[in-house]
Structure 1
């Protein structure tokens, strides 16, 4: 059966229900002559008369009645499925799958709003997958991805969901009780630093520093290596060395006094994260609602920073 047969069978059900070509044609938004021609073609293809017709009335033949009894549940199911799709255009529902390129992207963009999002939209199931770098989100069945702007393919829509983030270089008061805090980047050579191993190539990251247009990348030494900025902050809290992390992860511990900030004048700001998705037409209601909520929560300014995020280099 081709698509033309499905349309003809749907038209047959309408004629049988209305018992009138004119009324059925009005319901289907076609002309009565076009509808009558479609019914004759259907009968010729099937080799069975489905309708008795005169200039005054229309009725269903016995064969037409048997076909109608079998067709109606299927037509009703199709109509219901289309109605559900119509609801989805206006009401967020179903499963929303989002890929986050790294733990930082998930923590800064999704975690702050996921409780409110699920409470606001009880018909949505949220699935988050955290990976190490860019992937083909369409091929992997994701509705959207979150990562640095250069992870978004050129043919996709991209909106900023996390504003620029400043680096924080921190250590515990107990650590600085034993060693003088660094005043210049070169002073880091005399300190134990928490190493950060990049997931994509396995290299140990050099610390990116910047001040007044001057940039430097510092190789540091230390006895502990991590691959998460939150874990780096935790290592610093425990006095294992100086760590390079982001302000959002360090701020609570700076306020509580568990961490002390150093080299703030050498701490650069890096571009935040973007949510990217295919196309700008017929965006699923759940995805549109998520984008709106994340952007409203962050209040992220549309400012592009020139420095790449060292923790997401690939």
Structure 2
């Protein structure tokens, strides 16, 4: 039997972890065909079939499961050993992959990311901003950023950025001649700009005041899936929108938007960076967390 290379075993582990050649290839930064050929070559070297393949799924054979149980701890030990060498050299290096929502990415790009790249030039930061929640382990990310309430319970969460507040906004031109809403139920008498969630469902606006909570399936003939677009549509007089306050703040400050239902829009726990509890924390991620906490304390 020909001894497989480390890259062969890493490719095998990636396909097994993701149960998909496409996802594993994306994470590794190689083509799907190159990854497939690597696995075929590994199976030929070992003389056993490691995966059951169909047009729709990839699963481990019994031999593949046994090999994965032995290989993964070895690869993790190797990653930790290399990470230790990076620390001894005095500066983190490698790639740091973070999956963030748009709000989180915007906050990080304002102050944390520029300082991090200046302090750690040997780290390549891959910041992916998307609305949908993903399994950061399955998708090959080191960490994720979401609202604290959306962080999976088995993750370690690091809060930053303070509390967040959603606000109800409209253009003065839209409200001109209309009764300004005093309660969430009054929104049924208005044209609202609705939001489509990444799951495909429309968001029911959620309000609370003095312990009373209410959610409203608001009426409206326009639905968008991006906070910047919601703010712009509201500023153009298309109706009332419900958005994170920091998206609307510039236009509220300039007078193009005004807030309504202020006493029904309290603050809530804000953003958090999160990462797997059970995995070794690589030095680039530890450095990023330390800087994130430092910047957050100075705000």
Q: TM-score range by the shorter chain?
A: 0.5 to 0.7
Which position in structure 2 is the counterpart of 1:33?
Answer: none
Q: Counterpart of 1:251?
A: 249
- Helix, strand or coil at the partner of 2:243: strand
Conservation of the 8 A alpha-carbon contact between 1:97 and 1:127: yes
Tell me the equivalent position of 2:143: 144
Q: How many residues align?
A: 219
Aligned to 2:119: 120
Question: Normalised by the size of structure 1, how large is the TM-score?
Answer: 0.62
Q: Highest CA radius of gyration, 1 or 2?
A: 1
Contact 1:208 1:216 in 2 (8 A): yes
SS in 2 for 1:92: coil
Q: Distance in 1 between matches of 2:234 and 2:161?
A: 25
Aligned counterpart, 1:261: 259
In structure 1, what is the Cα distance between the partners aligned to 2:82 and 2:140? 24
Q: Is the contact made by 1:194 and 1:241 (CA closer than 8 Å) also made in structure 2? A: yes
Aligned residue in 2 for 1:44? none
CA contact (8 A) 1:194 1:236 kept: yes
Aligned 1:1-314 pairs, distance under 5 A = 85-88=84-87, 90-100=90-100, 102-149=101-148, 151-200=150-199, 202-279=200-277, 283-299=281-297
Shift of 1:287: 1.1
- Which deviations, in whole Å up to 9, do the C-alpha atoms of 1:228-286 show, x marking residues without a partner? 22221111111111110111111121111111111100113232122112348853222
Alignment gaps of 5+ in structure 1: 1-81, 302-314
Q: Distance in 1 between matches of 2:153 and 2:260?
A: 39
Distance 1:151 1:220, change over 3 A: closer
Give the Cα–Cα distance (whole angstroms) in 2 for the partners of residues 215 and 154 of structure 1.
24
Alpha-carbon spacing, 1:83–1:153, altered in 2? closer, same or farther (3 Å): closer
CA contact (8 A) 1:99 1:145 kept: yes
TM-score (norm 2): 0.65
1:245–1:300 CA distance, 2 compared to 1 (3 A): farther
**Maintained 8 Å contact 1:162/1:300:** no
Q: Which whole-Å CA distance do the structure 2 matches of 1:93 and 1:150 have between them?
A: 32
Q: Residues of 1 paired with 2:278 and 2:138: CA distance?
A: 18
- Cα deviation 1:98-140 (Å, max 9, x = unaligned): 112x323323445542223222322221101234444332232
- Paired with 2:213 and 2:82, the residues of 1 have a C-alpha distance of 58
How far apart in 1 are the matches of 2:186 and 2:152?
41
Task: Provide structure 2 residue ranges, at least 5 long, that are not aligned to the other structure.
Answer: 1-80
SS at match of 2:104: helix
- Give distance in 2, aligned partners of 1:296 and 1:180: 46
Question: Does the aligned pair in 2 maintain the 1:110–1:294 contact within 8 Å?
Answer: no
Moved more, 214-223 or 270-279: 270-279
> Hey, what's the Cα distance between the residues in 1 that align with 2:298 and 2:179?
37
- For the 8 Å contact 1:145–1:275, the answer to whether it is kept is yes
CA contact (8 A) 2:163 2:270 kept: yes
| Deviation sequence 1:133-177 (CA, Å, 0-9, x none) | 443322322111112345544443221123221111111122122
Check the 8 A contact 2:148/2:271 in 1, yes or no: yes
